[in-house]
Amino acid sequence: MVPSLQKLLAALRRLPGVGPKSAQRIGYHLLRATREEATELARAVVALKDRVGLCSVCGNVAERAEGVSDKTPLECPVCADPRRDSSRLLIVEEPYNVEAFQKTGVYDGLYHVLGGLFDPLAGVGAVELGLDALARRVSGGSFREVILATSPTTAGEATASYIHELLKPLGVTLTRIAVGLAPGADVDYADEISLRLALEGRREYGSIGR
Amino acid sequence: MVPSLQKLLAALRRLPGVGPKSAQRIGYHLLRATREEATELARAVVALKDRVGLCSVCGNVAERAEGVSDKTPLECPVCADPRRDSSRLLIVEEPYNVEAFQKTGVYDGLYHVLGGLFDPLAGVGAVELGLDALARRVSGGSFREVILATSPTTAGEATASYIHELLKPLGVTLTRIAVGLAPGADVDYADEISLRLALEGRREYGSIGR
């Protein structure tokens, strides 16, 4: 195989869900694609690294406006929206979970993105998830309710439980999304209806046995 | 979703085998990846379009050496290798089929890559596959044997049959790769067509190495 194709296939194989066969299919597709299509992809990857980062307030994905210095802290569209209800905070694992909850159309509060879940084997704990910053945000804010919306998996429940203990002394109402998701299901794969039901059916943390 | 991420996901979704979910997973992966990993991918895509094209002789993938004008016709590694047996020609659908036959280690002749198969609904016929160029190559060459190695599918058989009719007047020996039971397959589970083809293609015991 020619070196440029080999290099591209190696770079593609590093992407999640792309094995040798898919890398090959994508590589040969790009070989046949127009220069515009290929350039657009390459540019989009570079632009992502140049302009997109995490919101300094909530950890959601945020984009830098053109011409703004990369030293300026980023603010995501949700945090920048003054119409959001600042008395509620919904805690999720990943930025794409924010997208999913936004699509339900039944939540207009703020978010906090953990960027993961407890994972002792990978060395991910309270420090790595920045839970001290979360506690500072909640104690310094005017939240009446904090919704724990991590996946109902072992790691998601462990993380929710820890955050519950951490925020309990702050006197806010802590709720947990509940119905609509099967135990063991991943928030990322749930449809909008299930997510909406889970959101609407939330109960005060600890009020239901699991 | 922020625009740069949206643009990247749109570009990724255009790739074969990449749906909305995989695009999202790849997008967020790149967001978290080092700038080096992302840049390497973007550069590899651009380099592919800049330096890789099709061999002007056989249609296989070929790479332009650095500093060579993009007006110079490309020659693939197989065609450029003087040790290859120029009396045999193996006809395949795609450049990656060349890779696969090369890996068998039992073929040292030349290749001809069609770049597809007959597909009447998509308007792909003899002209689109450049079969006149194939006929010119065979009539102008010194091939003793031409091996039809398209897939044993309806489209592959139709293409092989057409090429057979096209090249028959040129007086070369035309052969077809063997079709039968896959190695390791169980006779008990084979369908009738596979069994019939395996039976019709039988050879004297011991005539082929395994």
- Tens digit of each residue's pLDDT (9 = 90 or more) over B123-151: 999 999 999 999 999 999 899 999 999 98
Residue contacts between A and B (CB atoms, under 8 Å)? 147
Q: Check whether A210 has a pLDDT greater than 50.
A: no
Mean pLDDT for all residues in chain B: 89
Contacts from A162-168 at CB under 8 Å and sequence distance 24+?
A162/A118, A162/A126, A162/A131, A163/A91, A163/A131, A163/A134, A164/A205, A164/A206, A166/A126, A166/A131, A166/A134, A166/A135, A167/A134, A167/A135, A167/A138
Residues 114-143 of A with CB under 8 A from B: none
Nearest to B199 by CA among B210, B183, B187, B207: B187
| Most A-contacting residue of B45, B55, B93, B101 (CB-CB within 10 A), to test interface | B45
For B146, list phi and psi in degrees, rounded to 5: -120, 120
Whether pLDDT at B14 is above 80: yes
Point out the residue among A26, A48, A52 whose CB comes nearest to the CB of B15: A26
Residue A201, pLDDT > 90, answer no
Contacts of A45 in chain B (CB under 8 A): 8, 30, 38-39, 41-42, 45
Contacts of B22 in chain A (CB under 8 A): 16-17
Query: pLDDT band at A143, cuts 50/70/90?
Result: very high
Domain B85-200 bears CATH identifier 1.20.1370.20: no
Tell me, yes or no, if B65 comes closer than 8 A to chain A by beta carbon.
no
* Contacting residues of A for B46, CB less than 8 Å apart: 38-39, 42
Q: What size, in residues, is chain B? A: 210
Helix (H) or strand (E) holding A2: none
Is A38 an interface residue toward B (CB < 8 Å)?
yes
User: Could you read off the pLDDT of A42-89 as tens digits, one per residue?
Assistant: 999 999 988 998 999 999 999 988 778 778 899 999 999 999 999 999
Chain A CB contacts of B11 below 8 Å: 37, 40-41, 44
**In 3D, which of B94, B124, B127, B128 has the Cα closest to residue B111?**
B94
Which residue reads 């127009």 in tokens?
A: A34
Give pLDDT tens digits for A146-162: 999 998 788 988 999 99
Q: What pLDDT, on a 0 to 100 scale, did the predictor assign at position B193?
A: 80
Rounded Cα distance between A192 and A13, Å, is 31
Do residue A30 and residue B15 have CB atoms under 8 angstroms apart? yes
Lowest mean pLDDT among A3-12, A194-203, B12-21, B31-40: A194-203
Helix residue ranges per DSSP H, B14-58: 20-32, 35-51
- Determine the average pLDDT of the residues in B2-6: 90
Q: Give the ranges where chain A is alpha helix by DSSP (H).
A: 3-13, 20-32, 35-51, 95-104, 131-140, 154-167, 192-200
Q: Per CATH, which fold does A85-204 belong to?
A: Dna Topoisomerase Vi A Subunit; Chain: A, domain 2 (3.40.1360)
Q: What are the domain boundaries of chain A?
A: 3-48, 85-204
Strands B61-63 vs B52-54: parallel, antiparallel or unpaired: antiparallel
CATH code for residues A3-48: 1.10.8.420
Q: Please tell me the predicted confidence (pLDDT) of residue A195.
A: 76
Bridge partners (DSSP) listed for residue B13:
none
Q: Are B166 and B197 in contact (CB under 8 A)?
A: no
Region B172-195: what's the mean pLDDT? Answer: 81
This model of the complex carries an ipTM of: 0.75
Which chain A residues have a beta carbon less than 8 Å from that of B60? Answer: none
Nearest residue, CB atoms, B2 vs list A25, A35, A63:
A63
Amino acid in the structure at residue A183:
P
pTM of the model: 0.73
Alpha-carbon dihedral of residues B164, B167, B170, B171, nearest 10 degrees?
-20
Q: Is the pLDDT of residue B89 over 70?
A: yes
Confirm if B160 and B102 have CB atoms less than 8 A apart: no
**B206 has pLDDT over 70:** no
> Looking at residue A68, what is its pLDDT?
80
A152 has a chain B CB within 8 A of its CB: no
Cβ A43–B39 below 8 Å, yes or no?
Answer: no
Fold of B3-49: Helicase, Ruva Protein; domain 3 (1.10.8)
**Residue B140, CA distances (Å) to A63, B120, B135, B144 in order:** 60, 29, 8, 12
